[in-house]
């Protein structure tokens, strides 16, 4: 039997990303520009990904300095680093095996014990003192890695009917691909796009999704993203309470993706974790609702996507189930030690009075101010263009404006075998050198179209992006009107 014949049906049924063609074309254009091919632009503006450093945001000096000293300890004896940087590096190296990030530094399955304890302390401080236990925390090579392991426990690929997982629409696509690859069924629930009120998670949509799934699967888990990706919405406390009550009533395991919790830019917006709301609701909810919450160094102020580190905290999970979770994390080996160190730095940044604090404060405030200005400026420009409507966003790294395409553009897209918003994105890339992602990548209501792009860019890139997008869009709408 050939390898092809042995491929799991679950893997066979996993559809490739809608954006494969777009990303391949982007790589081709970038290579052409490197070779000197003349185009109307000299460089592709890539705002497809949520990697803020890729879009031009400067990494935090304190983080890179500590990492540098941990990798090259000789720096600790030099006068080129602030005293608190050298002290932090020394402290972290003492917690590594043999005092090195690379020499025999396989850590415990959950991560370096001291770092896991400090994550627990961070969570308790964040959540107003709600208890957090180190034995319920696992560090992993990114939040998606943690999510995949928890899904492996929740999904029974041999069950009939199949396991179902409720996921939002729009939704980060990798999660849905992971669910499908495990043999489970994605049960979509729609976020509500309000007129000038942003996106909202409404419980009646959850009820509707659960009812529609009765004939096809057995839903066992509910996945939420707060702040939203790509929607940018932030759930209010009341909304979170309603979701927890729904999960309790329907006996669903809650999966709370909270990796954008540090990425808040709404004037009166506040992130409140599912863990905190659950604890403050008290019994019976706080004692019974099963929850896994995820965080990462990839997003927010830190923005260290390349270091691949995150954690999951588990709440109210049966000890017998925890044993299986521990086995899964153990077999994968520990998360990269540098990533674990970055996670520790995110939990414990420089404090007032530390030598590194003034620069750290200046850099982080500049990033936050840039986010606020970008959201306001981009929304104003987008909403001034014919055929665009952008809801206000309060958090996350992206905007998701709705695109009202002319019938001729939709017809042309159908003729070339593309989704309408994919067709728009390909044209935008080829003619204006701007790489954004189409709404079809994240799921959308039938008959609606969107584009998504990262907003964590410096001002000069933001203005060049808006200039190119405006010029292209006006001409596109004219050509297909």
- pLDDT in the model for residue 108: 76
Of 321, 347, 373, the one marking the end of a domain is 347
- Give the Å distances, CA to CA, from 384 to 75, 401, 455, 465, 473: 52, 12, 18, 15, 11
Residues 424 and 458 in one domain: yes
Residues 94 and 142 in one domain: no
Residues 370 and 320 in one domain: no
- pLDDT in the model for residue 16: 58
Q: Virtual CA dihedral for 100, 101, 105, 109, nearest 10 degrees? A: 140
- pLDDT in the model for residue 17: 67
Residues 128 and 263 in one domain: yes
Of 338, 355, 372, the one marking the end of a domain is 355
Residue-range definition of the domain harbouring residue 90:
62-98+351-355
CB distance 175 to 255 below 8 Å: no
Q: What is the pTM of this model?
A: 0.93
- What is d(CA 315, CA 311) in angstroms, rounded to the nearest whole number? 13
Residues 248 and 337 in one domain: yes
User: What's the total number of domains in the chain?
Assistant: 3
| CATH number of the CATH domain containing 167 | 3.40.640.10
Handedness of CA 332, 336, 340, 342 (dihedral sign): negative
Section 408-413 average pLDDT:
97
Section 198-227 average pLDDT:
95
Residues 256 and 381 in one domain: no
Q: Is residue 335 predicted with pLDDT exceeding 90? A: no
Least-confidence region, from 18-22, 106-110, 257-261, 365-369: 106-110
- pLDDT in the model for residue 331: 80
| CATH number of the CATH domain containing 475 | 3.90.1150.10
Q: Is residue 416 predicted with pLDDT exceeding 90? A: yes
Residues 386 and 415 in one domain: yes
- pLDDT in the model for residue 103: 58
Of 296, 322, 355, the one marking the end of a domain is 355
- pLDDT in the model for residue 269: 86
**453 strand-pairing partners:** 399
Peptide bond into 284 cis (omega under 30): yes
Highest-pLDDT range among 247-256, 257-266, 452-461: 247-256
Q: What is the pLDDT of residues 114-171, one digit of tens each?
A: 999 999 999 999 999 999 999 999 999 988 999 999 999 999 988 899 999 999 999 9
- Give the Å distances, CA to CA, from 342 to 51, 395, 454: 16, 22, 23
Q: Are strands 217-225 and 198-200 parallel, antiparallel or unpaired?
A: unpaired
Residues 279 and 416 in one domain: no
Residues 172 and 317 in one domain: yes
| CATH number of the CATH domain containing 81 | 1.10.287.1970
Q: Is residue 9 predicted with pLDDT exceeding 70? A: no
| Tokens 């190296």 found at | 93
- pLDDT in the model for residue 142: 87
Section 4-12 average pLDDT:
57
- What is d(CA 462, CA 371) in angstroms, rounded to the nearest whole number? 11
For the chain, the average pLDDT equals 92
Residues 169 and 38 in one domain: no
Residues 50 and 173 in one domain: no
Q: Is residue 3 predicted with pLDDT exceeding 70? A: no
Q: Virtual CA dihedral for 27, 180, 439, 457, nearest 10 degrees? A: -60
Residues 336 and 392 in one domain: no
């Amino acid at each position: 039997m050939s390898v092809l014949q042995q491929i799991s049906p679950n893997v066979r049924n996993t559809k490739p990303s809608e954006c494969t063609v777009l990303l391949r074309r982007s790589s081709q254009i970038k290579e052409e520009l490197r070779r000197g091919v003349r185009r109307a632009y000299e460089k592709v503006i890539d705002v497809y990904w949520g990697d803020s450093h890729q879009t031009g945001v400067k990494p935090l000096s304190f983080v890179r300095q500590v990492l540098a000293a941990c990798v090259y300890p000789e720096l600790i004896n030099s006068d080129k680093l602030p005293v608190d940087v050298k002290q932090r590096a020394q402290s972290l190296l003492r917690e590594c095996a043999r005092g090195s990030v690379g020499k025999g530094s396989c850590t415990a399955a959950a991560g370096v014990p001291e770092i896991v304890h400090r994550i627990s302390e961070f969570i308790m401080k964040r959540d107003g003192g709600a208890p957090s236990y180190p034995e319920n925390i696992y560090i992993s090579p990114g939040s998606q890695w943690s999510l995949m392991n928890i899904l492996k426990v929740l999904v029974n690929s041999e069950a009939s009917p199949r396991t179902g997982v409720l996921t939002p629409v729009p939704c980060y696509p990798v999660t849905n691909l992971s669910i499908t690859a495990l043999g489970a069924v994605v049960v979509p629930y729609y976020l509500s796009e309000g007129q000038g009120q942003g996106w909202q998670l409404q419980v009646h949509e959850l009820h509707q999704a659960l009812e529609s799934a009765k004939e096809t699967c057995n839903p066992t888990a509910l996945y939420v993203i707060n702040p939203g990706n790509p929607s940018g919405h932030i759930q209010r406390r009341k909304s979170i309470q309603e979701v927890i009550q729904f999960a309790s009533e329907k006996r669903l395991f809650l999966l709370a993706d909270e990796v954008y919790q540090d990425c808040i830019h709404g004037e009166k917006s506040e992130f409140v974790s599912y863990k905190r709301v659950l604890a403050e609701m008290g019994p019976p909810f706080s004692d019974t609702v099963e929850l896994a919450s995820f965080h990462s160094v990839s997003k927010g102020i830190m923005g260290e996507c390349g270091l691949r580190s995150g954690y999951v905290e588990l709440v109210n999970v049966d000890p017998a189930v925890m044993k299986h979770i521990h086995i899964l994390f153990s077999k994968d080996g520990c998360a990269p030690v540098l990533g674990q160190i970055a996670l520790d730095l995110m939990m414990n940044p420089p404090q007032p009075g530390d030598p590194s604090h003034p620069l750290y404060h200046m850099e982080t405030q500049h990033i936050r101010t840039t986010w606020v200005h970008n959201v306001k400026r981009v929304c104003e420009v987008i909403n001034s263009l014919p055929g665009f409507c952008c809801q206000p966003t309060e958090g996350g790294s992206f905007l998701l404006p709705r695109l009202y395409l002319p019938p001729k553009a939709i017809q042309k897209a159908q003729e070339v075998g593309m989704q309408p918003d994919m067709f728009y994105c390909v044209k935008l890339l080829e003619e204006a050198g701007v790489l954004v992602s189409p709404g079809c990548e994240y799921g959308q209501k039938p008959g609606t179209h969107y584009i998504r792009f990262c907003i964590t860019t410096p001002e000069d890139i933001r203005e060049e992006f808006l200039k190119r997008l405006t010029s292209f869009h006006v001409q596109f709408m004219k050509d297909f009107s």
